[in-house]
Every structure is written in C-alpha cells, then in structure tokens.
Structure 1
C-alpha cells in the first residue's frame, strides 16, 4: 500500500510518500481502508522533533504519522465480530500512529459506525477536533445570555465553537486573519466577524457592541491578540483557554480576577482525557444531526508535506484532512480548490 513515512525528524519535506507493507489486524483489531486521515498541529511538532511538552510519545523511526482515520472495515482480527466487515467507521487511533496511509489498523472498541450521509472528512474532524471542542463546551456552560468571543474562529475548534454559540442563541463574535477567513466566520453564524490583523479591532468591536459586554472568552491563541481579548471581558466574565498559538498564554493577576469579578480556567488536559469516549460520541452526534459542519482543507494523501506546510503557516481553514485516491468524501466544505491557501 501507499503511505506517508517519516524517516528523520525535520522539515515537512521529510514526509515521504512511498510503498510500505500492508498492516495486519491482530487480536481485537480491524483493518480499515482509509478514505480520510486527519492532520493535527501536534503532527507537525512530532515531525519536526519539537513535541517535548506533548503527552504523545516520540515515535520510533521510520513511522507513519496520523491518529484519526475514517473509512471502511475490510478485515478483522481472529477474535473480532466479522459483522464489522464492510461497515463505514471513524476511529481515533490514540497514542499509536499509522493514519497517513491507504490502510490502518485500529482497536475494535474504539470504532464508531458512520451514518451514510456523513462524509469521511467530517467524521475525521469530529473524532479529533470535535471531541476537544465538546470538552471545552462542557466547561464553558454556554447559554443564550452569553456574548461569546472566539479567537481563531476559522480554525477547527474555533469554527465549531462559533456554531455552538449560534446554536445556543448567544451573540457569537469570531476573530480570523484576513478578509477571506473573516467572511468564512460570518458564514458560520457569527454576528460579528473581526480581522485581528486590524490594529484597531478592539476599539471597533467595543463600538459595535454598544452597551453589551463580552461575557465569555474562548481562547486558543494567547499572545498579544488573546491578551486584548481578555482585556475586553466585562465584569463577571469568564475566560476559558485551550492553547496559545499566538506566542504564549494570556497573563493576568489575582487582582484582575478579584476587581473585575472574572473567572479563568484551562480546558485541556485531564479534564478531557478522563471522558474521551463520551466526548467523541457527543461530537459525532452534533455532526450526524448537522448542528456542526466542519470547515475542512483537504489534500491528497501524497501531498502530506504540503498539508503540514500550510497548517504551520496558518494558510488553512478548519480541519486539515488527507484524502486517499478514490475517496468519495464530499468537497462541499472549504478545500484548497475553493479557498485561498494564503492567510
């Protein structure tokens, strides 16, 4: 079969599309004919050899990256119910890589059967990015009374959060970089879509909100932009953080919390990992019912290196997904063919 293999840590060009032996489903395992494989930011860190702070172990080389796949079961291990054969499934492979390939093996207890109308790219987005979003929302306690500011709203998690705020009846405010991404955020249902590259975005937003105050900040960016967003929180507001891709976590003091009546929390970690199966189920339910529609940027499996480069330079929208040859995944969602690759 064809797969992407990493022989040495380093730049994206180290991801090689080559022939590798077919995996075999052992005890408690199934073999999946992969239609779509998810690309995660942590994949780029592992490839570069810079994931020292990640709970995911450094793999032995050579390795086939990727931990999220959707496709059809073609074979099962000797002790697995053969009725799985032929079913469309999605699965998170956990700590074991192997997703960037035409075939992958997975634990049968980790599988979810897919409804026919759910395409593979949507499923891959839900099983990884969606489960993280579901965990964030469990802690956010979002209500119709909220005015919600989501940073990086054109990203995988951010786009789900905007849709959830819209679905809850809250006022949804989304940030993104560049006019195209801003329009994408608006199309998701955000009442206010903001280009964070505008140095006056905070002043403009305050003017547009009038007497309304931001009650909830959902931030995965941090850095100067996240700091400005935090400073906009109204009295009694909540800040829930899940990353700092913008250069470092938001900084605040006990005095900030006390004088403004704020609460602040970190959403990622043990709070999520204790309930992953429930969070995956919740994300797939939102996807199956159509309440969530993932933004996706797709690449052929053979172009995994280009996918990594685009993700690292923020040239992608939503979830980055690799498609195998002959995949029947819909392209109704943003892809490189209908969205610019420049931010």
Structure 2
C-alpha cells in the first residue's frame, strides 16, 4: 500500500510517500480501506519530535495520523462479521497491544488497523472527510462547549474562528442564540467566519483590532474560547465582561504571559480561567467511555446539519504540504488527507 512515513523527527519534508506492507488485523480488530485521514496540529508537533501531552512521541519509523474514515475490508479473529463492508470512522488513539505510552498512529495510509470497539458507522449524509472532522475535531469542540454557558444574552469571543474547531464553535454558539465575535487572520478568513454566521468578524493581524471589537461590543464578551494564547489571548482578555469565562484548549501562538497588574485586573473583574482539555473534559462528559460519548454526539450533530465542518483537502501524497500549510496558518477548517 501507499503510506506516509516519518523516519526522523524534523520538518514537514521528513514525511515521505512510500510503499509499505498492508497491515493485518489481529483478534478483535478490523482493517479499514482509508478514504480520508485527519491532520491535526498535534501531528505537526509530534513530527518535530516535541514531547508533550496529550500524546507521547511515536517510535520511528512511524505512519502518523489518528483519525480515519473509509470501509471495513478485513476482520481479525473473533470480530463481529457485521462490520465487514460498512463505511466507518474511528479515532485510532492508543491501540490495544502497543507499548504503554506509545501512540497507535497509522492513519496516513491507504489501509489502517484498529480495534472494532473504536468504530462508528458513518451516518447517512456525511462523507468520509466530514466524518473524520467530527470524530476528532468535533468531539473536542463538544468537550470544550461543556464548560460554556451559551444562550441568548451570551457573547462568545472566538479566536482562530476559521479553523476546524473555531468554525464549529461559531456555528454552535449561533445555534444557541449567542452573539459571536470571530477573530481570524486576514480578510479571506474573516470573510469565511462572517459567512459561517459570526455577528462580527475581525482580522486580529490588523493594528488596533481590539479597539474595533470594543467599539462594537463595549459591554464585553462573556466567554473566550482560547486556542491561541500569546499576544492575541492577552489582548482578548481585556475584551471580557466582568464574570466572564476564559476557556483554554491550546496555545498555537505561544504561552500566555501576564504582568502582576494584569492578573490583579482579571481577579477584580472575576474572570475565571480554566484549561478544559484532558481530565476535566473527560470528567464533565461522564460515563464509562467519555470520549466515545463525545464522538457519538459530534457525529449526530453533523448528521442533523446543526454542525457543518469546514474542510481543506489534500491528496495523501501531499501530506508534507498539508503539514507545512497548517503550521504556517494557511489553512481553513479541518485539514484532511484523501486517498
């Protein structure tokens, strides 16, 4: 089969398109003929060899990718035979039988193997790329939204509003009746955010962008969905109303650094900051398998048309170009590799 392999940590060019053996499913597993594989910003971090949560570094050489959709074409011993031939989507996560602390991966390929318990049927009306967007990015979005109090009277401030999660946050907030302030980089991305339903779309690469937001919404936002960190988040905190929530789930622009004066101001205004990834998200989702609960909900929201993932597609052979574009913020929506 054709696959993308990483033989050495480093730049996007280290991702090579090559022939590799077709994998075979073990007991309780299936093999998926992959039609679409999700690309995540975390994939670019792991490719560089940067260690950190939520996923450990893989052993090399490796086939990256943790989100796949396609058709089940082979079964391992003891696997439910009704899966054969069905269109499915799965988050590969950590496979049974892999060494502790090692990521399963394997998604950037024409075939991928995973445990049958990870499978979801692709709902009618969704194509594989849309399903891939919801199994990872969609589940994270719904996990984040567990900590937001959205509805009429709420004002959501969404940086990176043209990205995969940002697009879904804007849609969900509008569906809930909230006012949405979208921040995006450049005129093309702000136009996309506005078309997606944002009440105000502002280019946060422009000078004095925060003054523009403040002029339109002097009372401030009630929740900040922060995946950016850095100077953007620092300015956005000044746009929050007293008692607002600062929900943190990323730091693509670097860590957020505040002066003692700024921290005191947040305390005075009763701004609460919370990292909503990891254990907090799982605890809030509840149940024996909280990630699966979020995945199921995400797919249902997309199938019902309430959430519509934005997609940027690349052929599998162009995975390096997809990584480079994602790292340099030249993408919109969820980046997906297609076979």
In the alignment, which residue of structure 2 is the partner of 1:313? 328
Q: Does 1:79 align with 2:94?
A: no
SS in 2 for 1:26: coil
Q: Does 1:216 align with 2:223?
A: yes
Using the TM superposition, give the Cα deviation of residue 54 of structure 1 relative to its aligned residue in structure 2, in angstroms. Answer: 2.5
Using the TM superposition, give the Cα deviation of residue 250 of structure 1 relative to its aligned residue in structure 2, in angstroms. Answer: 5.5
1:230–1:250 contact (8 Å) kept in structure 2:
no
SS in 2 for 1:139: coil
In the alignment, which residue of structure 1 is the partner of 2:144? 136
Greater mean alpha carbon deviation, residues 106-115 or residues 262-271: 262-271
CA distance in 1, matches of 2:30, 2:281: 26
Q: Does 1:266 align with 2:281?
A: no
Structure 1 residues not aligned, in runs of 5+: 325-343
2:155–2:181 contact (8 Å) kept in structure 1:
yes
Q: Does 1:108 align with 2:107?
A: no
In the alignment, which residue of structure 2 is the partner of 1:48? 48
1:235–1:260 contact (8 Å) kept in structure 2:
yes
CA distance in 2, matches of 1:174, 1:252: 26
In the alignment, which residue of structure 2 is the partner of 1:14? 14
CA distance in 1, matches of 2:133, 2:217: 32
Using the TM superposition, give the Cα deviation of residue 252 of structure 1 relative to its aligned residue in structure 2, in angstroms. Answer: 7.0
In the alignment, which residue of structure 2 is the partner of 1:239? 246
Q: Give the total of aligned pairs.
A: 322
1:243–1:249 contact (8 Å) kept in structure 2:
no
In the alignment, which residue of structure 1 is the partner of 2:205? 197
SS in 2 for 1:314: coil
Within a 5 Å distance, the mapping from 1:277-292 to structure 2 comes to 277-292=292-307
Using the TM superposition, give the Cα deviation of residue 213 of structure 1 relative to its aligned residue in structure 2, in angstroms. Answer: 2.5
Within a 5 Å distance, the mapping from 1:289-300 to structure 2 comes to 289-300=304-315
SS in 2 for 1:140: coil
Structure 2 residues not aligned, in runs of 5+: 95-103, 284-289
In the alignment, which residue of structure 2 is the partner of 1:337? none
SS in 2 for 1:246: coil
Residues 65, 162 of structure 1: CA spacing in aligned structure 2 closer, same or farther, 3 A cutoff? same
CA distance in 2, matches of 1:204, 1:55: 36
TM-score (norm 1): 0.91
Q: Does 1:3 align with 2:12?
A: no
Q: Where does structure 1 differ by over 6 angstroms across 4 or more consecutive aligned residues?
A: none
CA distance in 2, matches of 1:55, 1:258: 29
Using the TM superposition, give the Cα deviation of residue 273 of structure 1 relative to its aligned residue in structure 2, in angstroms. Answer: 4.2
CA distance in 1, matches of 2:180, 2:216: 13
SS in 1 for 2:64: coil
Using the TM superposition, give the Cα deviation of residue 323 of structure 1 relative to its aligned residue in structure 2, in angstroms. Answer: 0.2
In the alignment, which residue of structure 1 is the partner of 2:173? 165
In the alignment, which residue of structure 1 is the partner of 2:101? none
CA distance in 1, matches of 2:175, 2:270: 27
Using the TM superposition, give the Cα deviation of residue 181 of structure 1 relative to its aligned residue in structure 2, in angstroms. Answer: 0.3
**Partner residue of 2:187 out of 169, 179, 184:** 179
CA distance in 2, matches of 1:108, 1:216: 38
Q: Deviations over 1:260-316 (max 9, x none)?
A: 122221111112345211111111111111111111111000000100100110000
TM-score (norm 2): 0.92
Using the TM superposition, give the Cα deviation of residue 248 of structure 1 relative to its aligned residue in structure 2, in angstroms. Answer: 1.0
